[in-house]
A and B are shown apart, each in its own frame.
Chain A
């Protein structure tokens, strides 16, 4: 027995270092992270779902398919879609300008890009409502053209676009910075026109970032409340957003109904982010090998 023990020992020693981590504190740091994620994210979310589940399936379905609520889904989703599409284009342009050109005030413009995140959304909402009101700086000229922004669904789009544009800029910017100029030069030396270079070389590299930024912007817009309610007008069936509906139910002390609607919004946002992550993971794997 003793001899076999001796002969086995070296094998065990060889396998031991493979499982030992060089960086200390893995257990502790992961534990703390998971604890806090549970405390501030998972627990409230599950609380929300449990609360919504407590009301029974029929009641749940009744609450979330209330015509006024359904109308608000439509308004919110369409406005968020329009806003995030606009942001994809405008955000890409902003990122392009910030990365590719040198001009005085570039640093300042770069800093201002984050303003929508830093600004309290209510402040943004009031400012936008004032600007786009019929007597406001922009509103009076738009009124001449017959375009009403404040207190219409269009106002919702403006508010959503404003509050979520940094998502696209900040996801596209680093990808654009990393892009080697050689790729474009190589394409040009092979005779490609500027438009072809953009379509075939730049865009295929950039669009995962654009889509990710657009999806983040969409998810944020779905839940936007502060900026939207000041400019939306909030007339039932026309310009009520989903987050306002949650608030209305809360004001009526109908907590289960509020939780039910919130659960729907949450599920949609989570599924969207999950889908984007899975899709992007696949795409990046192809580019970087693996």
Chain B
């Protein structure tokens, strides 16, 4: 079931939480609503569910207008950040809740309900906990029960509000994979809210980046990371290195730093954005770029060695970060305080007088 969102405006008193949101969430895909806190992503999710009412705009499920439908009649599954399990019911009673409150005519018989609950608990691999109370479960178990409970009504749309937000890193990773495989198996349409870029990029088919109640960009994870539309998306998705300067005659300059830009760059104030993997570290400056640094810190943990760099003879707001392979690190053995130079391979140029960023290549 696809979800069409049209012209949604939402106010909390005088504060406008959402500004004219238009969005289509395709059928059967996993979509992430990504943004910092206060960006309106949870509000949007709650509007889709029917837990909040927008002041303006329409919501349609596969063309059917559901804007004025109560949450209980929308038949969506909703998973809350803090699980919202019913504390006075056992796990099995929690999962069976939706089935038990159906009108008598539609309600399946007791044995049928028991079987459905058993299947659902098997699906989340927690059938041995059926008679426990929520207070006796761990966070990850609670979240899986919450999922089983939401799936009990066989919804075609599953909405998850920061589903892994309250869990520790290891459990979070396991549950993420598990949700992905569940989704691939059952093919419902799901939307989840997160402020974790990694989670959004790893898990989803489509990412909606939001800030200040507006949609910044809607794209696949690959496009989003490779070609961000705006400075906000660039800075929000992972580490970024920035050089601010003036372009004169095809050369961007600030203090001792300069970069020779490819053809076709107008004179302007500009910022060059570079991802850590789009930059190489060298011992000497090349003829295309002169970006002197001192090595500030070296972090060995991970697949790559991350080197933090402090500009030498020019300025930037945040330290630069460049990743080099462990092999290269072992060969060169750079030390803290060493002087080195950065050479860009790919960069993204935001000019003051241009609406769109331009991707530059030096290779």
Min Cβ gap A259→B in Å is: 44
CA–CA, A177 and B260, complex, Å: 63
A187-B97, A190-B97 are contacts. A182–B88 as well, Cβ < 8 Å?
no
- List residues 232-290 of chain A with CB under 8 A from any CB of chain B: 286-290
Q: Counting CB contacts under 8 A, is A38 at the interface?
A: no
CA–CA, A187 and B133, complex, Å: 17
Min Cβ gap B91→A in Å is: 13
Residues from chain A with a CB closer than 8 A to the CB of B86 are 183, 186-187, 200-201
Residues from chain B with a CB closer than 8 A to the CB of A189 are 49-51, 71-72, 76-78, 150
Q: Counting CB contacts under 8 A, is B87 at the interface?
A: yes
> In which size bucket is the chain A interface?
20 to 34
Residues of B within 8 A of A (CB-CB), count: 28
> B153 and A185: CB pair below 8 A?
no
Residues from chain B with a CB closer than 8 A to the CB of A201 are 86
> A205 and B87: CB pair below 8 A?
yes
- List residues 61-84 of chain B with CB under 8 A from any CB of chain A: 70-73, 75-78, 80, 82, 84
Q: Counting CB contacts under 8 A, is A23 at the interface?
A: no
> B51 and A190: CB pair below 8 A?
no
Q: A4-12, A191-199, A215-223: which one contacts chain B?
A: A191-199
Q: Counting CB contacts under 8 A, is B102 at the interface?
A: yes
> B133 and A182: CB pair below 8 A?
no
Q: Name the contact of A183 in the complex, choosing from B50, B84, B101, B152 (C-beta under 8 A).
A: B84
Interface string of A145-185 (1 = CB under 8 A from B): 00000000000000000000000000000000000101101
Q: Counting CB contacts under 8 A, is B149 at the interface?
A: yes
Q: Counting CB contacts under 8 A, is A188 at the interface?
A: yes
CA–CA, A72 and B153, complex, Å: 57
Q: Counting CB contacts under 8 A, is B297 at the interface?
A: no
Q: Counting CB contacts under 8 A, is A27 at the interface?
A: no
Q: Name the contact of A182 in the complex, choosing from B70, B84, B152 (C-beta under 8 A).
A: B84
> A289 and B80: CB pair below 8 A?
no
Q: Counting CB contacts under 8 A, is B135 at the interface?
A: yes
CA–CA, A205 and B89, complex, Å: 11
> B71 and A289: CB pair below 8 A?
no
Instruction: Please indicate which of the listed interface residues A186, A190, A201 has the most CB atoms of chain B within 10 Å of its own CB.
Output: A190
Residues from chain A with a CB closer than 8 A to the CB of B101 are 187, 190-193, 196, 200
Q: Counting CB contacts under 8 A, is A17 at the interface?
A: no
What is the chain B residue whose CB lies nearest that of A203?
B88
Q: Counting CB contacts under 8 A, is B136 at the interface?
A: yes
Min Cβ gap B104→A in Å is: 12
Residues from chain B with a CB closer than 8 A to the CB of A56 are none
A185-B71, A289-B136 are contacts. A190–B87 as well, Cβ < 8 Å?
no
CA–CA, A180 and B87, complex, Å: 11
> B98 and A191: CB pair below 8 A?
yes
What is the chain B residue whose CB lies nearest that of A288?
B135
CA–CA, A118 and B334, complex, Å: 77
Instruction: Please indicate which of the listed interface residues B80, B98, B101, B153 has the most CB atoms of chain A within 10 Å of its own CB.
Output: B101
Q: Name the contact of A205 in the complex, choosing from B88, B97, B136 (C-beta under 8 A).
A: B88
CA–CA, A188 and B50, complex, Å: 10
Residues from chain A with a CB closer than 8 A to the CB of B51 are 185, 189
CA–CA, A186 and B136, complex, Å: 20
> B80 and A185: CB pair below 8 A?
yes
Q: Counting CB contacts under 8 A, is A24 at the interface?
A: no
Min Cβ gap B139→A in Å is: 13
Min Cβ gap A88→B in Å is: 19
Residues from chain A with a CB closer than 8 A to the CB of B97 are 187, 190, 192, 200
CA–CA, A146 and B88, complex, Å: 46
Min Cβ gap B87→A in Å is: 5
Q: Name the contact of A191 in the complex, choosing from B88, B102, B133, B135 (C-beta under 8 A).
A: B102
Min Cβ gap B132→A in Å is: 10
Residues from chain B with a CB closer than 8 A to the CB of A288 are 135
Min Cβ gap A224→B in Å is: 34
Residues from chain A with a CB closer than 8 A to the CB of B49 are 189
- List residues 20-79 of chain B with CB under 8 A from any CB of chain A: 49-51, 70-73, 75-78
Q: Counting CB contacts under 8 A, is A25 at the interface?
A: no
Q: Counting CB contacts under 8 A, is A204 at the interface?
A: yes
Residues from chain A with a CB closer than 8 A to the CB of B82 are 180, 182
Interface string of B324-349 (1 = CB under 8 A from A): 00000000000000000000000000
Interface string of B134-160 (1 = CB under 8 A from A): 011000000000000110110000000
CA–CA, A87 and B177, complex, Å: 53
Q: Name the contact of A185 in the complex, choosing from B75, B84, B98, B102 (C-beta under 8 A).
A: B84
> A287 and B135: CB pair below 8 A?
yes
Min Cβ gap A290→B in Å is: 8
Interface string of B148-176 (1 = CB under 8 A from A): 01101100000000000000000000000
Residues from chain A with a CB closer than 8 A to the CB of B102 are 191
What is the chain A residue whose CB lies nearest that of B50?
A189
B residues at A contact (CB < 8 Å): 49-51, 70-73, 75-78, 80, 82, 84, 86-88, 97-98, 101-102, 133, 135-136, 149-150, 152-153
Chosen A-B contacts, 24 in total, with CB atoms closer than 8 Å, are A180-B82, A183-B84, A185-B51, A185-B78, A186-B84, A186-B149, A188-B70, A188-B71, A189-B50, A189-B77, A189-B78, A189-B150, A190-B97, A190-B98, A190-B149, A190-B153, A191-B98, A191-B101, A191-B102, A192-B98, A193-B72, A196-B101, A204-B88, A286-B88
* Closest 5 pairs (CB-CB, A-B): A289-B135, A190-B98, A182-B84, A186-B84, A189-B78
